[in-house]
Each structure stands twice: as C-alpha cells, then as structure tokens.
C-alpha cells in the first residue's frame, strides 16, 4: 500500500499547534495530557471520578503535577464498552468541566474526549479548547462543530468501534493504513474549513490493534512524523503493556508507560495522554534535555 505524502497545504512549521487563535510550539517542549474519566467503566480508573467533586480534585491534582491539558471523557472506549446516550455523556462531563474552567490556571487547556458532535459542541460552549475524537472526525456533524470554532482537534485512528475493535484486528500494513486514514481525515477537515495547523494526529494505540500492530506503530513514529503534524501517543496502562510484562495488574503498568513516553518523545511524538502526569512529564523533560 502506498503511503500518502504530507499535504502540500501542511504548515511550514509542523510543530506549531493552533488552539483558539494561539500557537503552541511543540518543537522543543512537548505536552502532557492528563486523563479524567467521569465514567463507571473505564478500563483503568472507572468509577474513581464519577462525582463532580472527585473529577475536579483529580483535575487540579493533574494540573499541579504539570499537565498542559486536562482531558474530560464521559463514555468509556475500552474494548467491549457499551455506548451511552448524548444526554448521559453530557451529564457526566459538563458539571466538572464547567467548574474546572473557573478554577484552572490560564495556561491550562481543556479537551473533551467524545465522538458525539452534540457533546463536543456543549463542551466547547462550556469552555473546552480541544476536541479529542477517537473516531477521527468521521462524522460530518463533528467536522461542522469544529469548523465553527477555532478549537484544536485531535484526529485518531480506530478500526471498528469499541465494542468490536479487538475482535481479530487485521491489516496488510498497519502503519500505511493508519497514515492513509489520517491523511484522508485531514483532507476532509480541510475541505470544510479546518486549517491543518489546528490538527494533531493520533495513531490510536490499542484501538483495533493487536500487540504487534501497536509495536509496529510505535516503531514507525519517525515515518508518521513525515505527515508534518504533531503526534499524540495514548498508550497509558494499556493491555498490550500487560501482555509484554505478562502481568494483568493495571497498576503495574505505570513505569512501562513512562518508558514509552521517553522513547516516543525521542522518536518525534510531542503529546502524551496519560493517567499519571508527574512521572511521564519528568521522563519527557529528561528526554528533551538530551535530544535538544
């Protein structure tokens, strides 16, 4: 399968990410995104931050540890997870998000992790800065919501959906197919008025990929950087780590996550979505001190 070249419309400085009219330079200093799952069934922290109070306390904790972005999600995307309604997802996310908007530092960004355009729109109206869509903006209505704002957007690759994605995932060339999808989605977004400089790409580690697919994508980060957009890696505590360690205890996957943050930063990734901020931030900063 032939890989798409970077778009001729790619920004001259591919490490710049535009969010609400402000440019963030990721060339020397990457970003850490801290995860807040306001769900009862997320694979790692389901049920821990369902209440508004617990979610806000965790958001403040992650911000104090150095998170640049706090990512609020109200629907689990773990393998086999069931869908929730728009109303339920909004009810899970918005109370904490709205309160955190008033409490956050002026330097802290907020992303909303959703595949529903109605939820994304409500989150942006409440003060979120970024849409993080695991379906890669495949829904035209999601692209329309993004086009109406100047928010940052994260386009992720996922094969299938959370209910089916881990049922015998199959690729001829996983890296080529992921790059093709991401390029296609960037082109769609551009055609609807969304500038490339607002876009970050995510190869979707663990989303419709087996162990070897995940490792292939991580090895291929230098190839993915040729797309000329910043790369997000979301590998925190995921199942493939447990398979490598031969250990099902999710709490035993933290230092392996830190190792991945360091390795992927060295290879060219610049944004890391993690559950534990301080350890991953320290690893990223140390790696940047060496490579820069």
Q: What are the catalytic residues?
A: 238, 273
Give the C-alpha separation, 101 to 91, whole Å. Answer: 16
Q: Helical H runs in 137-276?
A: 140-147, 174-191, 211-219, 221-224, 239-245, 254-267
Cβ neighbors of 117 (< 8 A, separation 6 or more) are 139, 141, 142, 144, 145
Burial of 135 per CB tally in 10 Å (0-12, 13-18, 19+) = buried
Find the radius of gyration of the CA atoms of the chain.
17
CA 100, 154, 6 angle in degrees (round to 5)? 155
DSSP state letter for 10: S
Residue whose structure tokens are 């799952």: 37
Query: Backbone dihedral region of 204: left (phi > 0), alpha (psi from -120 to 50 degrees) or beta?
Result: left
Contact 279, 240 (CB under 8 A): no
Q: Which residues are bridge partners to 22 per DSSP?
A: 19
Across the chain, where does the E strand assignment appear? Answer: 16-19, 22-25, 31-37, 69-73, 109-113, 130-133, 152-156, 199-202, 232-233, 271-274
What are the C-alpha distances in Å from 258 to residues 12, 232, 234?
Answer: 31, 15, 12
Contact 36, 71 (CB under 8 A): yes
């Amino acid at each position: 399968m032939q890989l798409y070249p970077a778009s001729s419309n790619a920004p001259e400085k591919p490490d710049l990410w535009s969010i609400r009219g402000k440019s963030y330079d990721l060339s020397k200093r990457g970003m850490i995104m801290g995860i807040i799952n306001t769900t009862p069934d997320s694979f790692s922290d389901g049920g821990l931050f369902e209440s508004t109070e617990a979610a806000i306390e965790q958001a403040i904790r992650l911000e104090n540890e150095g998170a640049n972005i706090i990512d609020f999600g109200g629907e689990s995307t773990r393998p086999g997870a069931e869908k929730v309604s728009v109303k339920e997802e909004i009810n899970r996310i918005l109370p904490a998000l709205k309160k955190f908007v008033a409490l956050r530092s002026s330097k802290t960004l907020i992303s909303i992790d959703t595949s529903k355009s109605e939820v994304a729109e409500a989150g942006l109206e409440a003060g979120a800065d970024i849409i993080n869509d695991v379906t890669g903006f495949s829904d035209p209505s999601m692209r329309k919501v993004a086009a109406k704002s100047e928010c940052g957007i994260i386009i992720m690759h996922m094969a299938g959906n959370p209910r089916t994605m881990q049922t015998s995932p199959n690729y001829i060339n996983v890296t080529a197919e992921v790059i093709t999808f991401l390029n296609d989605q960037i082109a769609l977004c551009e055609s609807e008025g969304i500038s490339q400089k607002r876009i970050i790409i995510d190869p979707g580690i663990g989303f419709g990929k087996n162990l070897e697919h995940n490792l292939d994508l991580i090895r291929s980060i230098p190839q993915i950087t040729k797309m000329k957009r910043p790369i997000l890696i979301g590998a925190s505590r995921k199942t493939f780590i447990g398979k490598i360690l031969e250990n099902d205890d999710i709490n035993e996957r933290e230092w392996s996550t830190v190792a991945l943050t360091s390795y992927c930063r060295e290879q060219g990734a610049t944004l890391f979505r993690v559950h534990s901020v301080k350890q991953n931030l320290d690893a990223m900063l140390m790696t940047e001190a060496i490579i820069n």
